[in-house]
Amino acid sequence: MPEHREAQAGYHRYHIPTRPAPDIEKWPSRFKVKVRRTGLAKLLLSEVFHYRGRKDVILSRPCMYGVFSGPVGGFMPREEHCVGCLRCTTEFPEFVRIEHNPERQKLGDSYFTFNYVDQIAYEASSGLVPVRGAGYRGKFGGEGWDGMWTDMSEIVRPTRDGIHGRETISTVVDIGYTPNFLQFDAAGQPTGSLPHYISIQLPILFEGGDLAREGHVARIYARTAAELDTLAVLPFDQAIGLGEYAHAVVPVVRPQDAPRLSQLGFAPRVVEMHGWDDALYTTITAAFPEAIIALRTGFEDAAALVGYARRGIKVFHLLADYHGRSQDGRFVLDLIREAHTAFVEAGIREEVTLLGSGGMIAAEHMPKAMICGLDAVAVDTPLLVALQARFNGECAGRDASHFSLPSNLNEAWGVQRLKNLAASWRDQLLEILGAMGLREVRRLRGEMGRAMFMKTLEADAFAGLLGYTEAN
Amino acid sequence: MADIAHKTDEQLIVEKHIANLHNGFAHWPRAEEAPPALGDSRWTQDLILATWLMAETGKPPENGLEYKIGASGGGFDVLDFNIPTEDKWLPADTEIDLSIPLNRRDDGAQLNINIPMYGGGMSYGSISEHVMQARARAAQHLGTFTSTGEGGYPPSLVLYKDHIITQVATGMFGVREETIQYAPIVEFKYAQGAKPGLGGHLLGDKATDVVAAMRESVPWVSLFSPFPFHSVYSVEDHRKHVDWIRTTNPRALVSVKVSTPTDVDMVAVGSYFAGAHIVHLDGSYGGTGAAPEIAKKNIAMPIEFAIPKVHKYLVSENVREEVTLMASGGVRTAYDVAKAIALGADGCVMGTAELIAIGCTRCSNCERGRGCPFGLTTTDPLLQQLMPADWGQQRIVNMYNAYAIQLRELLRKLGLRSIRELRGRRDLLKYVG
Ligand code: SF4
Ligand code: SF4
């Protein structure tokens, strides 16, 4: 049993144990610190003379972060400590120059930009919520996720949940089937279909179905998921042999895996079927009669999803590419809304579970995806970034992307990095829920009334101004 | 030289760095190339350097620095004024009035401010006492106000009490009978734009003995103010708050600072009906000493969208003339102020711009370790000496003087004699996105 679930003295609260897990591979520093040595030498000489050898005064340097505190001070700055405050260059414009490090900016790719990489690196190494001073530094709104804001409530709290502390907010989600209503026979016994679901502690699953092709990565995902009481989605081959984490492992089964399902060696709680296949569905049902069967498929055809639900699938794991695009180029935020709406309109949204992957690369994307209609997010590329993987070129296609993991990747470190990431994302989710006055994450799903979209707000605010058309 | 012999090391260290910093603040706005790592989309290199220059000279820059807009690609940065042809401009010597009333009701003191701006809340602990003093003295000089923020009311500010707004926030730090009684205006902070729906954060490293004493808390322990006011879940509850202030200080005007949720218009009207004189909207791109990045970027709407929504609703409820609407949260320049007013605000509340005037580089390290390396958002005894209050006061005054020059010039070109005439004049704006 995982350490956090040990019920000591009959009491237990869910908690993710975080611990610092610093980088194991040296990444380029965020800033380049350039000091002209002649300028520095001249300064030192003039200060020695001016302050008559008062050592502490002469050696008092502008940097508070230790960049100039190495054995030879500014002659060999320790760039990795630089936080870009610019005090040195303000004090000594003539010979100190601070630049963003272009090598750092090459981390990630055009979608998973280095800012996101930086953020994940911080979250995975510390387990903390990124907190910084000064206001927002980015662009005004934007496209996709950036064009959406979440609501908050202050004097009048629409939900009246009355949050009296983030610790009381639940992040439990259910995966499986819950009928809209129960039916009973004359004897009072339930008839018809019964609920069939599991509950996990986080709306964050680990998606390794396309990525965890290496055994040690799959093991890191599985062990972390088990310890956090969530799920790790893994290729069938990698799932074999992970019976000790049976509770948390979701094997992805393709038609070619059908003849060897018995090799798995354990009874999974959830199985993912890779694409709809009548025969495969029958085989999986027969092999794992207790399991919840999820359909792993693209977002593209929302109407078809409703059709699969009528044929018995109650959990959908919907995939966009790593840049959040469907095959026809639409963005995942719109795709989620479409899928959610299709089930709402069919009157069966409460019966199914929608999981999603692709393009959700920051903590903020998780609540936004849930507001648009997901029950939980199966996180993909951020897990690799947490493990300090490097992108080999653009990584958009699920089959065509290549990442390089650190050669010294080890299980204990990897597990802690993922736990830290999950803890940080969960805490950030709590910030969003607390601000909205919601007491449980399940109430976030499909709460479109608590979302604000830039296009709508801008039209409301600027309609009628000279030069403004809705097409802007 | 003799001077040096008589000074302590600490004095010499502080003097040395102050001289270097002042040299840099004067150097960079005039240099051919800006520091490469300075600035971001909202506060560009040019905006920061232009603010430094205005804070030094008291005039708008004339050396080509862009001082009107940033590069955020939206909001104020995609709005401009429709300036009529020169024959419609008012004569150059026309007197243009920048004052606005803060009380439009018929109860309480009739307070006016000379410029359509006052200083926003920055708490003792999140900023140094020197910064508070500089802001308060500047407010006195300019005939406007500054706000204490939620960290209490240091005794050194009592001298300027007629220009200080006492803030009452959810943590209730330092809220005492006398600090309510000092105040011409009491501000309830229901929420803050940079972290809407979360309480204030003061990280442990900044909760020094003195700061903790002021807040009646434990030194070096982080303080997370609750959210929301747990005594307020409705407009009626809010009304009780207002009554409580009125009982303690019947003279005081009441300001209600709220963030910008989807129902910000209802919140504003509710605040008015509960007795507020000032409704202060703080948009999501506002400043802070420490806030989760997720909150700054994602929760609540930017001020540019909230102002017209609230203005229109107050008009439709027939109460617009009885309430003063102040806007903040990403208002960076004199032109932002004018645009906010044209969208429907009466005036603006300024924060980050004042800090930039006194040396902030927008590096976002305010919460780290000992705090701001420029001595602004810090409680470190040595660091805070880097920003002497008299120097800071003059820089802030100069910046507002430069703003006033720009606002008067703009109004003159728009054919308006008073900033009050600009309110809600969306027809004078154009979209340039
Ligand atoms: S920018 Fe700041 S952190 Fe970096 S070297 Fe200069 S003083 Fe140190
Ligand atoms: S730490 Fe940086 S952002 Fe914060 S006040 Fe100081 S200079 Fe400005």
B363: contact with A, CB 8 A cutoff: yes
Q: Which residues of B198-229 are buried (b: 16+ CB within 10 A; e: fewer)?
A: bbbbbbebbbbeebbebbebeeeeebebbbbb
Helix (H, G, I), strand (E, B) or coil at B346: coil
| Range 114-133 of A in CB contact (< 8 A) with B | 119, 129-133
Enumerate the β-bridge partners of residue A295. A273, A316
Which of A198, A249, A241 shows the shortest CA–CA distance to A223? A249
Mean per-residue pLDDT over chain A, rounded: 92
B52: contact with A, CB 8 A cutoff: no
Running DSSP on this structure, what letter comes out for residue A25? S
Q: What are phi and psi of A47, to 5 degrees?
A: -70, -35
From chain B, the residues in CB contact with A64 under 8 A are: 369-370, 373, 383
Alpha-carbon span A68 to A83, nearest angstrom: 13
CB contact under 8 A, A457 and B23: no
Half-sphere exposure of A144 (CA within 13 A, CB side): 17
> From atom 4 of ligand 2, which residue's Cα is the shortest distance away?
B366
Architecture field, domain B100-431: Alpha-Beta Barrel (3.20)
By the 8 A CB rule, do B409 and B416 touch?
no
Query: Which position has the higher pLDDT, A70 or A341?
Result: A341
Residue B84 confidence (pLDDT): 96
- Expressed in angstroms and rounded, the spacing between residue B358 Cα and the centre of ligand 2 is 10
Kindly state the tokens that stand for B383.
Answer: 């660091």
| Range 43-72 of A in CB contact (< 8 A) with B | 50-52, 54, 56-57, 60, 62-65
Which of B121, B128, B124 shows the shortest CA–CA distance to B214? B124
Tens digit of pLDDT for each residue in A252-283? 999 999 999 999 999 999 999 999 999 999 99
Residue B233 confidence (pLDDT): 75
Residues of chain B with pLDDT under 50: none
A431: contact with B, CB 8 A cutoff: yes
pLDDT band of residue A9 (cuts 50, 70, 90) is low
A151-160, A235-244, B369-378: segment of lowest average pLDDT = A151-160
Q: What are phi and psi of A77, to 5 degrees?
A: -65, 145
A29-38, A162-171, B296-305: segment of lowest average pLDDT = A162-171
Task: Tell me if A87 CB under 6 Å of ligand 1.
Answer: yes
Q: How far is CA B384 from its chain centroid? A: 20
Residue A160 confidence (pLDDT): 46
Taking one residue from A and the other from B, the number of pairs with CB-CB distance under 8 angstroms is: 295
Kindly state the tokens that stand for B217.
Answer: 């808390």
Residue B186 confidence (pLDDT): 96
B368: contact with A, CB 8 A cutoff: yes
Residue B242 confidence (pLDDT): 87
pLDDT band of residue A126 (cuts 50, 70, 90) is very high
Residue A159 confidence (pLDDT): 47
Alpha-carbon span B61 to B34, nearest angstrom: 15
| A162 has a pLDDT exceeding 60 | no
- B182 CB neighbour count, 10 Å cutoff: 20
Q: What is the mean pLDDT of residues A118-138?
A: 95
Q: How is chain B split into domains, by residue range?
A: 100-431
| Range 103-162 of B in CB contact (< 8 A) with A | none
Running DSSP on this structure, what letter comes out for residue B377? S
Strand pairing report for B146-147 and A390-391: unpaired
Alpha carbon separation from A2 to A5, A227, A247 (Å, rounded): 6, 5, 11
Alpha-carbon span B63 to B73, nearest angstrom: 24
By the 8 A CB rule, do A130 and A119 touch?
yes
Query: Which position has the higher pLDDT, A438 or B160?
Result: B160
B191: contact with A, CB 8 A cutoff: yes
For this complex, say whether ipTM is above 0.95. no
- A197 CB neighbour count, 10 Å cutoff: 16
Tens digit of pLDDT for each residue in A43-93? 999 999 999 889 999 999 999 999 999 888 889 999 999 999 999 999 999
| A346 has a pLDDT exceeding 90 | yes
Helix (H, G, I), strand (E, B) or coil at A328: coil
Residue A472 confidence (pLDDT): 62
Q: What is the mean pLDDT of residues A137-157?
A: 88
- Type of residue found at B291: A
pLDDT band of residue A156 (cuts 50, 70, 90) is low
